[in-house]
Structure 1
């Protein structure tokens, strides 16, 4: 699926819990409603792009703790 946005033009966001020293997942929203994800430790790698529906399902699972690391 092609992306109409230049990755350089996207506004990237990261969690407030990030200390600014790397290790963060960054998120950007494309003009066609998809969500781009990248690892800020290497932003030169192409982002992973998902539909808004996939992103919403992921957020729901994250809020419910479905992706928590095992303790």
Structure 2
């Protein structure tokens, strides 16, 4: 499956998806991440055939830094 967004076109057929160890087998709120063709793809782990979000490296880095800094804490 190919997707295109933000000037990136990526093929997800050979993507290696990674999920957090913190979600656990009963969690319904876990996502999976794949680093593909210069972009980062994100999908819901309990719906692997569903929609995929695609981020640029810069967007992903900003998100990770914001999470580390507590920017998204409630």
Superposition misfits of 4+ residues, deviation over 4 angstroms: none
Match 1:23 to one of 25, 29, 34? 29
1:18 Cα offset (Å): 1.9
For normalisation by structure 2, the TM-score amounts to 0.78
Give structure 1 stretches of 5+ with no counterpart: none
For normalisation by structure 1, the TM-score amounts to 0.81
Q: Is the 8 A contact 2:33 2:43 kept in 1?
A: yes
**1:3-30 Cα deviation digits (max 9, x unpaired):** 231x231000011212123421110011
Match 2:71 to one of 63, 66, 69? 66
Which is richer in helix? 1
**What is the RMSD of the two structures over their aligned residues, measured on CA atoms?**
1.5
1:43 Cα offset (Å): 1.4
Give structure 2 stretches of 5+ with no counterpart: none
